[in-house]
Amino acid sequence: MATSAGECSLHDLEDAHVDVMRRSLLKWYDENKRELPWRHKAKTVTDDNERAYAVWVSEVMCQQTQVATVIDYYNRWMDKWPTVHLLAKATLEEVNEMWSGLGYYSRGRRLWEGAMKVVKELGGCMPTTAQDLQKLLPGVGRYTSCAIASISLSEPVGVVDGNVIRVMSRVRAIGAESQQPSTMDRFWSLADRAVDPKRPGDFNQSVMELGATVCSPKTPSCAVCPIQPICHAYRMTKDSRSSSCQKFFKLSSSSSPPPAVETLPQVSSEGTVEPR
């Protein structure tokens, strides 16, 4: 039976591991991130209100829809309604027409309803914290509010989506059912602990990018993973394979000892990788 994620110290992030995650993931992200239009806007739009709106649109569109499909829809949406004020002036028919093909039309409707609420009830200003975004905008849950706040407003809050769950499950060897409340609480705790306070949006996107492109569900590319040295799942898999090899050599050659088994490196307090 799977145990709760809160019952094992393996599931905690040590200070040195947090430092390695931040530095390694941000370096990897800077060198390997996909160039996406909403990421460009998050970096180039100077007005907080417009930047938060641009990220909000992208997050809603990317729910249950592949990024490659979203790009064209996002560009056309932002060309027509580049600000929350302009979206609030649109009709639901116009919104549905623009959304046609993306599916789950309630997402577009909630964006439109949220824009009208921002203009009519919030003085035209987007909420500026994750807590207020979730509280005040229709259809905005914990993940979306934290993504908007961290990416567009630099609030140091973590995010938890399917990619983050997969990465954290492997890095911390969490085998508990991810939908259990206690397990989700642990994922949020890990995400908040790991997030880089200076670049929270980039860090959160780096974890999600890693899950989408490297730490895939069935065939993860562990050889190129920037946080492989602190990944418990990789270590356990490698140790298991090495143990099997040892048994093979013992059976096949009783006259010679089995080869030494290498283990993964330790991480020093400075965040550097040291051999054991």
* 88-94 contacts at long range (C-beta below 8 A, 24 or more positions apart): 88/112, 88/115, 88/116, 88/118, 88/119, 88/120
- Tokens matching residue 228: 């492989």
d(CA 97, CA 182): 41
Comparing CA positions, the residue from 55, 222, 60 lying closest to residue 155 is: 55
Q: Which long-range contacts (CB under 8 A, 24 or more apart) does 136-143 make?
A: 137/56, 138/110, 138/113, 138/114, 139/60, 139/106, 139/107, 139/110, 139/111, 139/113, 139/114, 140/56, 140/114, 142/188
Backbone angle region of 262, left / alpha / beta, with phi > 0 → left and psi within -120 to 50 → alpha? beta
Residue 139 φ/ψ region, left for φ over 0, alpha for ψ in the -120 to 50 degree band, beta for the rest: left
Tell me if 87 sits within 8 A of 179, measured CB to CB: no
Question: CA–CA separation, 50 vs 58, rounded Å?
Answer: 13
- Cα separation, 124 vs 249, whole angstroms: 71
**Of 163, 95, 155, the residue nearest 130 (C-alpha):** 155
Which residues carry out catalysis? 59
